[in-house]
Structure 1
Amino acid sequence: MQTIINNLLSSDELQEIRQLLETARWTAGHESAGDHARPGKHNEEMDQSCEAWKTINQRVVNKLYAHPEFHSAALPAKVSAAFVSRCSPGMYYREHVDDPVMGTPGGRYRSDVAVTIFISDAGDYEGGELSIDTALGPIAVKGTAGSAVLYPASSRHQVTEIKSGQRIVCVLWVQSLVRDPAQREILNDLDSARQALRLSAPEAEVTKTVDHAYINLVRMWSEV
């Protein structure tokens, strides 16, 4: 399941982040990749010791946690820090699968859901599509500035080569309360239905039934 969250970041927040990019320090992106993905990773990542990164990380993580669609789709137990990635012409990230367990000793998390937040707009660069492999074939995602895409971290995916312009995104991973992506999709659909019923018929018996079913499925499938 892929979920698009539009307007996660406002235009003012995007402007603030873009100003911070001008003072940031950058390192070779392959340094953060797993062994199998490292040879195919050719990008730059913001140095996480610089002040610009600290501000951007706090901003995007807080915005995710505040968004109801993120909670419905990801059911987060843990959320990683943001990796700020920059791709210029000639850069790419070849097809790979994200490492199943990430983080540092004492702060490990399972990567169930991958999140890409677009800082650059789709028209700012040519190429650079996020291509995600699905059962029906690959889908290409090139989001508008401020939007986010969520997808299973178990998916094979790649970022195609940048032809012109510059692609800047924030990338995070989520350990979900529900590790199975098929179960998360069912819960996301059911949550959408119960939210609609709460608005249209808050006291109806069907609303209470759907709410009851959702709550107990989360109880059945969650790992805490």
Structure 2
Amino acid sequence: MLLHVPEILTPDEVRQARNVLARAPWGSGRITAGEQSAQAKNNEQLPETSQETRELQALVLAGLERHPVFFSATLPKQISPPLFNRYGGAANHFGNHVDSAVRYLRNGAGRVRTDISCTLFLSEPEEYDGGELVIENPGSQQQRVKLPAGHMVIYPGTSVHRVEPVTSGHRLASFFWIQSMVRSNEQRQLLFDMDSHLIRLRSTIGETDSAVIGLTGTYHNLLRTWLDV
């Protein structure tokens, strides 16, 4: 499932993040790449241990926590700490790659199976040229993503994807991975679709209609069947 999740951060929060990033200590993005990805990766990244990274992580995680669409679409069991990157100048692209299946957390804090990849845009589209996130879909047309600041895209961690070269300006973003309580992408898609339809149905006929109660029960029974907590 590829999904645009709007307004994870408010405009004020985007400005706050940009102010932090303006004073941030950028380093090589290859430090968190796997062996194959490192050959394709040419960008800058904030050190995981920096004060700026910790401040921004708290901001992003708070935005995710309050966003109902994010929870419904991902059913998160564990979220890797958000990281932050910059594309522009000589460090301006990330070629085709697949994210590593497991993200090992710092200082032995555990590991996250990367069921879902997330990119949260922190630059406005008109601030840079190029820089589209391109996601390859086997047997169908590739999808090109370039969203407003504060908006996020989620997509399967199994996807081949890349960031096109940034030819002017700078592209700022946060990226991270999610281990879902429902491992199957297809099952998550079905549950998200059902939940979305239920929300619209409740707004039309109310919470106590027998059809709404029955479908809500079906949703939770499917979730119980597929859940890993």
TM range, smaller chain: over 0.9
Paired position in structure 1 for 2:83: 83
> 1:215 pairs with 217, 220, 226, which one?
220
Letter in 2 for 1:95: N
> 1:124 pairs with 118, 121, 127, which one?
127
Paired position in structure 2 for 1:43: 43
Paired position in structure 2 for 1:133: 136
- Mapping of residues 82-161 of structure 1, within 5 Å: 82-90=82-90, 91-104=92-105, 105-135=108-138, 136-161=140-165
Provide the C-alpha distance between the structure 1 equivalents of 2:141 and 2:48, rounded to a whole number of angstroms: 35
Provide the C-alpha distance between the structure 1 equivalents of 2:98 and 2:65, rounded to a whole number of angstroms: 25
Paired position in structure 2 for 1:13: 13
Letter in 2 for 1:112: D
Matched residue of 1:36: which SS? helix
Matched residue of 2:36: which SS? coil
> 1:171 pairs with 160, 170, 175, which one?
175
Paired position in structure 2 for 1:194: 198
Question: What is the number of residues matched between the two proteins?
Answer: 224
Matched residue of 1:37: which SS? helix
Letter in 1 for 2:71: H
**Which runs of no fewer than 5 residues in structure 1 stay unpaired?**
none
Deviation sequence 1:119-162 (CA, Å, 0-9, x none): 00111111110001124121000001110111111111000111
Deviation above 4 Å: which 4+ runs of structure 1?
Answer: none
Letter in 1 for 2:174: C
**Which runs of no fewer than 5 residues in structure 2 stay unpaired?**
none
Matched residue of 2:177: which SS? strand
Tell me how far 1:20 sits from its aligned partner.
0.6
Provide the C-alpha distance between the structure 1 equivalents of 2:224 and 2:134, rounded to a whole number of angstroms: 33
Determine whether 1:28 maps to 2:28. yes
Letter in 2 for 1:9: L
Provide the C-alpha distance between the structure 1 equivalents of 2:48 and 2:215, rounded to a whole number of angstroms: 44
Tell me how far 1:35 sits from its aligned partner.
0.8
Mapped contact 1:79–1:175 kept (Cα < 8 A)? yes
Deviation sequence 1:150-188 (CA, Å, 0-9, x none): 111111100011111100000010000011101100000
Identity percentage of aligned residues = 33
Tell me how far 1:93 sits from its aligned partner.
0.5
TM-score of the superposed pair, with normalisation by structure 2: 0.95
TM-score of the superposed pair, with normalisation by structure 1: 0.97
Mapped contact 1:24–1:47 kept (Cα < 8 A)? no
Mapped contact 1:89–1:161 kept (Cα < 8 A)? no
Provide the C-alpha distance between the structure 2 equivalents of 1:21 and 1:169, rounded to a whole number of angstroms: 10
Provide the C-alpha distance between the structure 2 equivalents of 1:75 and 1:84, rounded to a whole number of angstroms: 23
Provide the C-alpha distance between the structure 1 equivalents of 2:89 and 2:218, rounded to a whole number of angstroms: 50
Provide the C-alpha distance between the structure 2 equivalents of 1:10 and 1:133, rounded to a whole number of angstroms: 30
